[in-house]
Structure 1
């Protein structure tokens, strides 16, 4: 059992990979009769799925027709060549040069947020720092007015608050949850559609305008495509960074020797973040659908089968990672899969890394001591597909 799991008594079924040093490793590829999904736990097997979109499609919505209205233009639900064309439309915003230009703004947001808790002995690290930092950056990039940030935050929070494990076989609870999530998504896409209409009339220097003005294969994007594309960017553009910052603080709290090591040598901050991504990956699984019958690690998977790649277990594959259940902030190499691989490798990975690096250094600079409040338990994500905390009370010194 990991120190992190033991400290917060993490649910053994939900966080089974946190107990891997006490249990046999799961099968590298296995069929789950409860959910009707194939689970991929092995590292090389996960790479094979993620690197072969012609075999394992990202268009998972074809098995969930009730959510089809949100698939048009959603970059995470597309395969090449359409995916490649849409990705190019916003890739300029996430180049190393573009991120470097944003760095002064990221520093300013960080300092502003920390100034608001200056003098306090305790505060909620997520609500007052880890959440507002990345969502402010992505909403500004998209062109969402500051006055609407709270509105956006509310919809996004409700979209990510699911509790039911996905299943193709037992749908009652899931269907109810999908309806709730779609209601929130509809509010957000309606809002973004309205923003796109405004940009057609009054263009600005933002990503919404770029999507409005773009052409793919000689055609403009529909307002539905723009809204769904922006929706996906908005959600993905903040959730990983929010969870990464919170989880990194959780890990340092559970492993004080790591905290001391990084504070003594700030050059370890980048590798600390990579180890946090490996050890407590923000995204639990990445789902694909088979286009035809495939063989994977001796298993025959038929066409139109849903395949879930389990990132936390792939990140603990002993064939790749030495002492995989040890949290090591100096671990190198560290080829974790937290940001995926292949054509769908997270377009905002460099942004998330830069934001988190700036955030952690600022926390170290500002607080000689930063630890969780032993009398106020953190609140962990309820969505089975996300790992991290939605609330993290900390004591500072």
Structure 2
């Protein structure tokens, strides 16, 4: 996909985004027969005009579609989201806060005396994975298997390339999907026999207008939750640290004005959006920015480009933790707004102060450029070695 797939571009795609917005805000890529949208107005329209831009990728010739409600359109999407929302409530998310704090302390305690760690592998991946496991009511000991499944699901982004890469990713997903189906079926039967106070039980019991989720619906949400409930937080935490390494003045500003924490999180989401693009298809011919996209075509609204559009954000290339207003669309917009946004923000509000308060003098442990995560549509490091002044475990403090 142009040179956006090179490691160098994936580390910093924003200069190219700027160039595309100026010259080709609606760009056709003939080799893949897809259209890319780079300006805020066009991207937001693609996220909200559901009559023109649909979410069902099975409707795009030759492309598959995971059975997740984010790839469904109304009315099916409306019904499934309503059912899932009954189980994934603000109250259930807020109740996780004490446990998230405990898990964060435990992960940092395991590394604090060493004075070094890999922020991604030792903290930013395991924290949300453990939270999701406990939220679902699944043994945390299975989190390594969860991480493997997440990687397989994320690799479906390679479908956009077509050819061997797409086929390999699809085949691996089919194997993982069958594994997840067997794994989940056992747990769902257990919940039906003996309900617990966990998300799986709430999914089994959720009901709207006399209708409940099928086992296939729950499997689709399970797959989606593994990804959306972990990957966004992983990259949000890692990208915040990258942003502070590049902008130490803003870190000093946060330390002196800690009440900027919420707006700092929103700025990280805008400045280094964890998800760089989403998938849509055209239901009919549409004219955008002087270009015409035919019906039945794949469209990539580039969230990362929209969130750096100077027509919407003053000085968008500046990392400003006090930015206000900040109408970013890092979590999407409209009926497909990310259901896990509240959980990701909660985890970040706990994780980032923990990291910045306990890791004194934190800095990169390598001068090598960071390696992007394998999934093509996400933005963040696969690894991020850091070093800091060795400290004490929280359990050792008086």
**Structure 1-normalised TM-score?**
0.89
Contact 2:26 2:289 in 1 (8 A): yes
Where does residue 6 of structure 1 map in the other structure?
A: none
- Kindly indicate whether residue 347 of structure 2 is the aligned counterpart of residue 358 of structure 1: no
Return the match for 1:105 from 99, 103, 110: 99
Equivalent runs, 1:20-59 vs 2, <5 Å:
25-59=22-56
- CA distance in 1 between counterparts of 2:117 and 2:368 reads 11
- TM-superposition CA deviations, 1:109-148 (whole Å, max 9, x none): 1111111112111001111111111111112112222232
C-alpha change, 1:376 and 1:292, in structure 2 (3 Å) is closer
Return the match for 2:79 from 82, 85, 88: 85
Return the match for 2:200 from 200, 208, 211: 208
Where does residue 187 of structure 1 map in the other structure?
A: 179
Where does residue 346 of structure 1 map in the other structure?
A: 338
- How far the C-alpha of 1:391 sits from its partner, in A, is 1.2
Equivalent runs, 1:1-397 vs 2, <5 Å:
11-12=8-9, 15-18=12-15, 25-63=22-60, 67-68=64-65, 70-71=66-67, 74-92=68-86, 94-161=88-155, 164=158, 166-167=160-161, 170-215=162-207, 218-375=210-367, 378-397=370-389
- How far the C-alpha of 1:255 sits from its partner, in A, is 1.4
Where does residue 5 of structure 1 map in the other structure?
A: none
C-alpha change, 1:354 and 1:215, in structure 2 (3 Å) is closer
Unaligned runs of 5+ in 2: 1-5, 390-398
Contact 1:193 1:226 in 2 (8 A): no
- CA distance in 2 between counterparts of 1:174 and 1:161 reads 9
Moved over 6 A (4+): 21-24
Contact 1:318 1:324 in 2 (8 A): yes
- How far the C-alpha of 1:318 sits from its partner, in A, is 1.0
Contact 1:40 1:310 in 2 (8 A): yes
- How far the C-alpha of 1:95 sits from its partner, in A, is 4.4
Aligned residues: 384
- TM-superposition CA deviations, 1:241-270 (whole Å, max 9, x none): 011000110110111112221122111222
- TM-superposition CA deviations, 1:347-386 (whole Å, max 9, x none): 1111111110111111121123211113565332122111
Contact 1:282 1:387 in 2 (8 A): yes
C-alpha change, 1:326 and 1:154, in structure 2 (3 Å) is same
RMSD of equivalent CA atoms: 2.4
C-alpha change, 1:265 and 1:67, in structure 2 (3 Å) is same
C-alpha change, 1:210 and 1:36, in structure 2 (3 Å) is same
- TM-superposition CA deviations, 1:46-89 (whole Å, max 9, x none): 11111122221111133366745x32xx1211112222222222
C-alpha change, 1:392 and 1:279, in structure 2 (3 Å) is same
Aligned-partner SS, 2:49? coil
Contact 1:376 1:393 in 2 (8 A): no
Unaligned runs of 5+ in 1: 1-8
